[in-house]
Amino acid sequence: MAPMKAAPMRPTAKFSISFGLVTIPVAAYNATDSSTSVSFVRIHTADGGRVRNQPVCSLEGVEIPPDEIGRGYKPDDRDTVVPLSDDDLDALPLPTAKTLTILAFVAGGDIDPLQMGKGYYLGIDSPAAAKPYVLLREAMERHQRVGLGKIALHGRETLAMIRPMEGALVMQVLLWPHQIRPMDGVLPERQPEVAPAEVAAAETLMDSFGALSEDDVHDHYREALEEIVAAKLAHREPEFPAGEEQPAGQVMDLMAALQDSVRAAKKSRGEDEGTEGAPDGGGSGRTTKKSTAKKTAAKKTAATKTATTKSAAKKTPAKKTAAAKKTAGRGGRRAG
């Protein structure tokens, strides 16, 4: 049986990118799928009934139907709520309502990751948009820059970043700078000092990490939750694969913990522990157990030879000294 094809994506918005005097009509598609994330419903623990959020009017105390629910805006300095209709919002003098105007091109690293919001794929919305679309994409790829602009989405104006990705343009919604809270009180006034050797050990541990695997980026939490639900429906105990236990407790010796972590990382990749601290140049820096044993034997042999040489060196001057004393004694008797 052939696998079912995924339903085609539908655009959530349509607008134009303004790149100087160039206009590019695009359609925005959701790049993320929030429906696949784990979500819970609220229940009444006594009987398992659903607890729902009912839209109730704060003045009348009655439930309000959806067609009677509108928008309102509450000023910061007043308790009054001002009603706003769709016509009021449409009348806003926003040039960004239908156009994303690029204001600047910057390096991608200049964007604070805290500002990153929802992502959208931008598709070509008309045949005439194909060439300027490709032109903007290739220019940003060669120039290694991303575009910053403003766009009004879902009734709100927001900052946006446009960047090339795998032959397409992607738009990332950005938070305004005033929406990023300051870090006051996050860190203590006095922070501990770390020794250079500890920093070097941490860098060695970072180098020992391998590349991400498919299993690393798999949602195991969702699978475990689904197993618990299936077990409850089948009136059985949940079955989970055995996993490694993580060590608990406070780390007292930071240096020892770093070194143990490096050894554990290498052991998990099947590398010899004797390579600790050695550079990994595509396998040339790795040492097998046999070569380690040979090196150990060579060190012992060298140590034995050194000890023998030192012992011989000590004995030789002793003999020479005794012979010199005898010669001096004989010469003294002859002179007398």
DSSP 225-242: HHHHHHHHHTTS------
Which tokens belong to 275?
Answer: 């390579």
Q: Report pLDDT for 324.
A: 39
For residue 225, count CB atoms less than 10 angstroms from its CB and return exposed for 0-12, middle for 13-18, buried for 19 or more: middle
Q: Which tens digits make up the pLDDT trace of 83-137?
A: 888 788 777 777 677 889 899 999 988 899 999 999 999 999 989 999 999 999 9
Q: Of the candidates 259, 250, 247, 255, which has an alpha carbon nearest to the alpha carbon of residue 205?
A: 259
C-alpha span between 230 and 219 (Å, rounded): 17
C-alpha span between 30 and 5 (Å, rounded): 18
Are residues 111 and 146 in contact, defined by beta-carbon separation less than 8 angstroms?
A: yes
Q: Which tens digits make up the pLDDT trace of 138-196?
A: 999 999 999 999 998 877 888 999 999 999 999 999 999 999 999 888 888 888 888 89
Structure confidence at residue 13 as a pLDDT band (50, 70, 90): confident
C-alpha span between 280 and 215 (Å, rounded): 24
C-alpha dist (Å) from residue 58 to 54, 95, 240, 317: 12, 36, 48, 107
Q: How many other CB atoms sit within 10 Å of the CB of residue 28?
A: 22
Q: What share of the chain in percent tops pLDDT 90? A: 27
Mean pLDDT, the chain, integer = 76
Instruction: Please give the radius of gyration of the chain, using alpha carbons only, rounded to the nearest integer.
Output: 37
Which residue, chain included where needed, has tokens 């359609």?
Answer: 27
